[in-house]
Amino acid sequence: MKEVTLKQIAENLGISITTVSKALKNYPDVSKKTKALVKEEAKKLHYKPNVFAVNLRMQRSKTVGLIIPEVVHHFFSSVVNGIIEQAEKKGYLVIILQSNESSKLEKKQIDLLISKRVDGIMISLASTTTDISHLQEVKELEIPLVMFDKISKLVQCSKIIINDREAAYKATKHLIDSGCRRIAHFRGALLPQNSIDRFLGYKKALEDHGIVYDSSLVYICERVDYEDGIAAAKQLLKDHDDVDGIFAITDLVAIGAISVFNEMGIKVPQDISIMGFSNWFIASAITPSLSTVNQPGYEMGKKTFKTLHKEMKAKRDGTEFTPVTKVLKTAVIKRNSTK
Amino acid sequence: MKEVTLKQIAENLGISITTVSKALKNYPDVSKKTKALVKEEAKKLHYKPNVFAVNLRMQRSKTVGLIIPEVVHHFFSSVVNGIIEQAEKKGYLVIILQSNESSKLEKKQIDLLISKRVDGIMISLASTTTDISHLQEVKELEIPLVMFDKISKLVQCSKIIINDREAAYKATKHLIDSGCRRIAHFRGALLPQNSIDRFLGYKKALEDHGIVYDSSLVYICERVDYEDGIAAAKQLLKDHDDVDGIFAITDLVAIGAISVFNEMGIKVPQDISIMGFSNWFIASAITPSLSTVNQPGYEMGKKTFKTLHKEMKAKRDGTEFTPVTKVLKTAVIKRNSTK
DNA sequence: TTAGCACCCGAAAACGTTTTCGTTTTTTAT
DNA sequence: ATAAAAAACGAAAACGTTTTCGGGTGCTAA
């Protein structure tokens, strides 16, 4: 059972390969009659063009690459969902790689994608990435590039993000508006930009509302997970007895904290209010349900691919494309962990 | 800045393309001297083979396809994690598609992967898939195929699964051993095999321990999500007042049920014990923490790719490969939702 | 009749590699 | 010195497409 090729069809019909190819692509210099004949024969033999040959000839793969820090992560998997849905609509396939928050791996994977000659690359940076030479290389090779969520301001490319600072501001303000005055912050590691931005938003909200910023109320959660939340909450209880609100960098951290308070018999939100971040869907399923800030992962994925697609199209057409930065809307979601 | 090709190197060195190619691949019929020269020049020019040409020539892409029902799902994202990690080790890239539990989409995506000429395919079926002709086609084209978790017994291929029936049996037995006698089951839809198997395991456990099976204690959760769990729990409270245990098909359903009981002031596990399934990590974070059965997603992903890799290798070498079925171990994890 | 003009068609190059097989060069043995 | 053997190299085909460009028809108008 040999592969069906253009040659096959051409021989069956006694015409040239050229004509067959053109007929299938509706070139104007092929008569209606031959077009019909060719198409019929192609259907009969179940002809499928050999993508390898097409790729080689066209110098493109109709495949794009995606690098994210973690696959097993609600926010990123939502992004992935948005991306692959949109990509499929446009006839593109997506190769997914995971940097595991390692800058070194990230570099390797960029090289891998380049060597696979993907038509475009989407990336959310590892927390530790500071050297961005691998991304500059992508730009130099003129491979369309879009960054999302965890970006670097130093790279000239399109970006799809939220305003972490503003979102954190809104979250903190919500706590203040509901009556909290001693508000702690469970932040992420020192380096990642969104960890910094959320911290700054928190600080600014305090200052704007006449609350003195107290650095002893800020706890660092290195890995930003459930255990970190538990640890921070326990430490907080040791250090302070007057805190009436917590803004956690992420829902998971907030949930860790809640579980500690539940266990200790500390009432949420009566004794202490808690805000999360991301609106991970489980936030509505815990007790008490978690107030949080919505971070639109699916939307972000959609927008990311759409932007990449425009850029790839511009490259094919040889038209100019100026990078855009799109800031997606966030919104406070009030539930039962705040008053 | 033109692409560097073998031709380029050959011209620079005044030798033939053939020799350059062979030198880079350490063919024995190239002298050490020329090999060194060629390699040096290649490094200097940053030569990277054109994969499109390699693919065409070799008739393979070093790319595999993966189809799963949902990306945003803890279990499946764990599987994805295991797969892409393992694939990268072997130099393969993974194209991920999502069937959205639609049999029609699944079929389309198989066609897509075939037309992209991936070297192998891994799939977990959509719940509604009964017609398996698209998978037969994969077999006919002799594309290596491995199914995992949600499989079809009608397809002759390697399979990586857990024993759902046995796992459900163990979960139910755990409830019985802890003193429960009226045990309800929140099951999934009627069709998917794992929904059936878990139900059968539940039933068998009852019968083996002298408890009469009562079909009025079985509730169907069509979409197997949090809301389903809530609905089923509420219905259960209306229908019965003597139930002392629930085995839910999935952690999320169990969590939905717990949230209802928490709200109603029904004590878990004192008044009613609850078992989940999957050991989704959030299971340890809710109150009370959820007893469940561990379903090793990461392991499953690893094993799935490894098996596919063996099959692909066998195909290249022209050696025979007989499909294997690997059943991964599951274990009951006792937490605070059971006595 | 002949130039001009649609209208069709196909030869051939190009994309960049891999590999077979024949040829040339060098080395070894006689 | 010469034949045989071994080592090194290269021509060319092949993978299957797309696209340019140069014809060859047959028709119309002068």
- A47-74 residue pLDDT tens: 999 999 999 999 999 999 999 999 999 9
pLDDT tens per residue, range B234-246: 999 999 999 999 9
Rounded, the Å distance between the CA of A73 and C1' of C19 is: 47
Phi and psi (nearest 5°) for B49? Answer: -60, 145
CB contact under 8 A, A81 and B72: yes
Among A254, A194, A200, which Cα is nearest to A225's? A254
pLDDT tens per residue, range B39-97: 999 999 999 999 999 999 999 999 999 999 999 999 999 999 999 999 999 999 999 99
CA distance A242 to chain B (A): 25
| Rounded Cα–Cα distance for residues A272 and B308 (Å) | 52
Residues A151-159: contacts with CB under 8 Å, at least 24 apart: A151/A124, A151/A125, A151/A193, A152/A125, A152/A193, A153/A193, A156/A323, A157/A323, A158/A307, A158/A308, A158/A311, A158/A323, A158/A324, A158/A325, A158/A326, A159/A323, A159/A324, A159/A325, A159/A326
CB contact under 8 A, B84 and A71: yes
pLDDT tens per residue, range A258-281: 999 988 999 999 999 999 999 998
- Give the mean model confidence (pLDDT) for residues A290-315: 97
From the CB of residue A169, how many other CB atoms can be counted at a distance below 10 Å?
21
Question: Which nucleotides of chain C have an atom under 7 angstroms from any protein CB?
Answer: 7-12, 14-22
- Run of H or E including A299: helix A297-317
pLDDT tens per residue, range B133-158: 999 999 999 999 999 999 999 999 99
Chain A CB contacts of B81 below 8 Å:
71-72, 98
Chain A CB contacts of B52 below 8 Å:
52, 55-56, 59, 61, 117
CB contact under 8 A, A59 and B52: yes
Chain A CB contacts of B255 below 8 Å:
282, 285
| Rounded Cα–Cα distance for residues A88 and A67 (Å) | 18
Of all residues in chain A, what percent carry a pLDDT higher than 70?
100
CB contact under 8 A, B72 and A59: no
| Rounded Cα–Cα distance for residues B201 and B179 (Å) | 18
Of all residues in chain B, what percent carry a pLDDT higher than 70?
100
| pLDDT value at residue B285 | 84
pLDDT beyond 70 at A35: yes
Chain A CA closest to residue B262: A287
CB pairs under 8 A between A and B: 119
pLDDT beyond 90 at A192: no
Residues 6+ apart with CB under 8 A from A30: A19, A22, A23, A38
Peptide bond preceding A269 in cis form (omega within 30 of 0): yes
- Give the mean model confidence (pLDDT) for residues A77-83: 97
Strand D proximal to B26 Cβ, under 7 A:
no
Chain A CB contacts of B84 below 8 Å:
71, 96-98
Phi and psi (nearest 5°) for A187? Answer: -100, 175
pLDDT tens per residue, range A230-243: 999 999 999 999 99
Residues 6+ apart with CB under 8 A from B241: none
The first and second tokens of residue B338, run together, are: 């059971």
CB contact under 8 A, B97 and A115: no
First-to-last C-alpha distance (Å) of chain A: 70
First-to-last C-alpha distance (Å) of chain B: 71
| Rounded Cα–Cα distance for residues B134 and A225 (Å) | 41
pLDDT tens per residue, range B261-280: 988 999 999 999 999 999 99
Question: Tokens 């003597």, residue?
Answer: B242
Phi and psi (nearest 5°) for B65? Answer: -105, 150
CB contact under 8 A, B115 and A48: yes
Task: Using CB atoms, pick whichever of A56, A259, A285 lies closest to residue B226.
Answer: A285
| pLDDT value at residue A114 | 95
pLDDT tens per residue, range B244-259: 999 999 999 999 999 9
Among B114, B62, B280, B2, which Cα is nearest to A282's? B280
Beta bridge partners of B122: B66, B146
Task: Specify the nucleotide whose C1' lies closest to residue B47 (CA).
Answer: C16
Question: In a mutagenesis test of the B interface, which of A3, A5, A77, A78 is the best target, namely the one with the most B β-carbons within 10 Å?
Answer: A77
| Rounded Cα–Cα distance for residues B181 and B179 (Å) | 6
Residues 6+ apart with CB under 8 A from B275: B171, B172, B174, B175, B245, B246, B247, B248, B254, B291, B292, B293, B337, B338
Strand D proximal to A284 Cβ, under 7 A:
no
Chain B CB contacts of A53 below 8 Å:
56
| Rounded Cα–Cα distance for residues A219 and A255 (Å) | 15
CA distance B44 to chain A (A): 17
Whether the CB-CB separation of A272 and A104 falls below 8 Å is answered with no
CB contact under 8 A, B98 and A85: yes
Q: Which residues 239 to 298 of B reach strand D, CB within 7 A?
A: none
Among B42, B57, B193, B75, which Cα is nearest to B128's? B193
Strand D proximal to A26 Cβ, under 7 A:
no
CB contact under 8 A, B50 and A63: no
Chain B CA closest to residue A226: B285
Chain A CB contacts of B74 below 8 Å:
72
| Rounded Cα–Cα distance for residues B213 and B31 (Å) | 78
Task: Specify the nucleotide whose C1' lies closest to residue B57 (CA).
Answer: D15
Rounded, the Å distance between the CA of B8 and C1' of C26 is: 28
- Give the mean model confidence (pLDDT) for residues A194-203: 96
Peptide bond preceding B269 in cis form (omega within 30 of 0): yes
Residues 6+ apart with CB under 8 A from B190: B196, B220
Peptide bond preceding A28 in cis form (omega within 30 of 0): no
Among B274, B264, B218, which Cα is nearest to B244's? B274
pLDDT tens per residue, range B308-318: 999 999 998 88
| Rounded Cα–Cα distance for residues B282 and B255 (Å) | 9
Distances (CA, A) of B78 to A113, B263, B280: 23, 32, 10
| Rounded Cα–Cα distance for residues A144 and A332 (Å) | 34
Residue nearest C19, CA–C1′ metric: B18
| pLDDT value at residue A263 | 87
Residues 6+ apart with CB under 8 A from B144: B119, B120, B121, B308, B311, B312, B315
Confidence of residue A1 (pLDDT cuts 50, 70, 90): low
pLDDT beyond 90 at B192: no
Chain A CA closest to residue B78: A72
From the CB of residue A199, how many other CB atoms can be counted at a distance below 10 Å?
21
Q: Strand B331-333 relative to strand B292-294: parallel, antiparallel, unpaired? A: antiparallel
Task: Using CB atoms, pick whichever of A48, A63, A259 lies closest to residue B285.
Answer: A259
Residue nearest D12, CA–C1′ metric: B18
Question: What's the whole-model pTM score?
Answer: 0.93
Phi and psi (nearest 5°) for B95? Answer: -100, 125
pLDDT beyond 80 at A34: yes
- Give the mean model confidence (pLDDT) for residues B284-309: 95
Chain B CB contacts of A81 below 8 Å:
71-72, 98
Question: In a mutagenesis test of the B interface, which of A286, A289, A335 is the best target, namely the one with the most B β-carbons within 10 Å?
Answer: A286
- Give the mean model confidence (pLDDT) for residues B9-22: 96
| Rounded Cα–Cα distance for residues A244 and A269 (Å) | 9
Distances (CA, A) of A95 to A144, A307, B65, B191: 15, 17, 9, 32
Strand arrangement of the beta sheet that strand A245-248 belongs to: A218-220, A183-187, A245-248, A273-275
| pLDDT value at residue B191 | 86
